[in-house]
Amino acid sequence: MKRNVDVIASRQLARHPIAVLVVAGLVGLIYAETSLAWGKDGHQLVCAQAEQSLTPTGKRWLNKVMAGGKELDDAERKHFGRSFALSCLWPDDAKYSDYKGSYEQHFINVPSDANTVDMARDCTALDCIIVGIQRALSYLAQPVDGRRQRARAAAALRFLGHYIGDLHQPLHVSNAADWGGNKIKVTWFSEDSNLHRVWDVGLLAKDGLDYPAAMVSLTVGAEQVASSKDVLEWMNESLRVARRHAYKHRGVLIASGAALGADYVRANSPIAKRQIELAAGRLAGLINGLADKSLQLPMLVAGN
């Protein structure tokens, strides 16, 4: 029976059409190599910091929704339900199992000469990160009645936490041609790597941003939690960070064969840290809005 609940919730999350996104005008076929945005440390930092920034109502709501996660995990994956921080790692495991349809929802890629995301151009298959975020929010805003819906809500919460982290890793909103930097092969402190991996784990590791030790070094202010909930603008913001910082070193576009090291860390680790803080604050704001029912779902995509 538990397996049936998993599969039903999986199919609903991965395949359910979202009319509100069509109204907003959405996005094209996209391709990217396997990645774990922000790595395990980064994703846990985002979700743990978000949890610390919740209102009392938000915390109660989070715990209640998380409780439904026992329907999602078998014996090998039960650790994902131990904390919100751990649950935010689950989507990178689930995209290879019952939630294969969620794979493309971890990123969105645009033409190399584009300075903004164009939903009609970049997500025509309605299968990109903003679709995943909207889908998760839509399910979390619905009443929950029964095991199937509890499992669906718990999965949606895990996806939401993970996707907001992904969205703020700049190379998850970046060039289609180079697969978000995956095809740009670089030397990172004398070791073979690629630009995407540098931003997933390299910068955080060199700056000591590991979980949970780095929690004390992060700052999530009330203004971040209460910030605008225009997810499309958040995507454009990440794209700007990718264009101005991630893809450049000393003002020059990075190409395969480049050697990156201490100078790149000094220039970009503060930016990576800021993106994690923004992700945590904005995720907290979304969860608080779901908890107190103040969140207006159409505005998240349409930018109203």
Contact criterion met (CB below 8 Å) for 249 and 176: no
Q: Which of 2-11, 66-75, 155-164 has the lowest mean pLDDT?
A: 2-11
pTM: 0.86
Query: How far, in Å, CA of 159 to CA of 98, rounded?
Result: 13
With a pLDDT cut of 90, the percent of the chain lying above it is: 71
Q: Which of 24-33, 60-69, 168-177 has the lowest mean pLDDT?
A: 24-33
Looking at residue 177, its pLDDT comes to 97
| DSSP code for 144 | -
Task: Assign 275 a pLDDT band (cuts: 50, 70, 90).
Answer: very high
Phi, psi of 112 (to 5 degrees): -65, -25
Top pLDDT among 298 and 67 is at: 67
CATH topology of domain 2-299: P1 Nuclease (1.10.575)
What average pLDDT score do residues 226-242 get?
A: 92
Looking at residue 32, its pLDDT comes to 37
Q: Which of 18-22, 111-115, 223-227 has the lowest mean pLDDT?
A: 18-22
Q: Which of 15-24, 35-44, 212-221 has the lowest mean pLDDT?
A: 15-24
Looking at residue 29, its pLDDT comes to 30
Contact criterion met (CB below 8 Å) for 110 and 180: no
Query: How far, in Å, CA of 276 to CA of 166, rounded?
Result: 10
Q: Is the pLDDT of residue 302 over 60?
A: no
Contact criterion met (CB below 8 Å) for 301 and 21: yes
Q: Is the pLDDT of residue 301 over 60?
A: no
Query: How far, in Å, CA of 48 to CA of 68, rounded?
Result: 19
| DSSP code for 214 | G
Q: How many residues does the chain have?
A: 304
With a pLDDT cut of 70, the percent of the chain lying above it is: 86
Q: Which of 25-29, 55-59, 233-237, 241-245 has the lowest mean pLDDT?
A: 25-29
Q: Is the pLDDT of residue 30 over 60?
A: no
Task: Assign 5 a pLDDT band (cuts: 50, 70, 90).
Answer: very low
Looking at residue 36, its pLDDT comes to 57
Q: Is the pLDDT of residue 10 over 60?
A: no
Q: Is the pLDDT of residue 156 over 80?
A: yes
Looking at residue 298, its pLDDT comes to 55
Query: How far, in Å, CA of 66 to CA of 156, rounded?
Result: 10
What is the tens place of the pLDDT at every residue in 66-93?
Answer: 999 988 988 778 899 899 999 999 998 8
- How does the average pLDDT of the chain come out, rounded? 86
Residue 179 gets the label, from left (phi > 0), alpha (psi -120 to 50) or beta, of left
Closest CA to 20 of 304, 260, 303, 302: 302
Looking at residue 253, its pLDDT comes to 97
Q: Is the pLDDT of residue 255 over 80?
A: yes
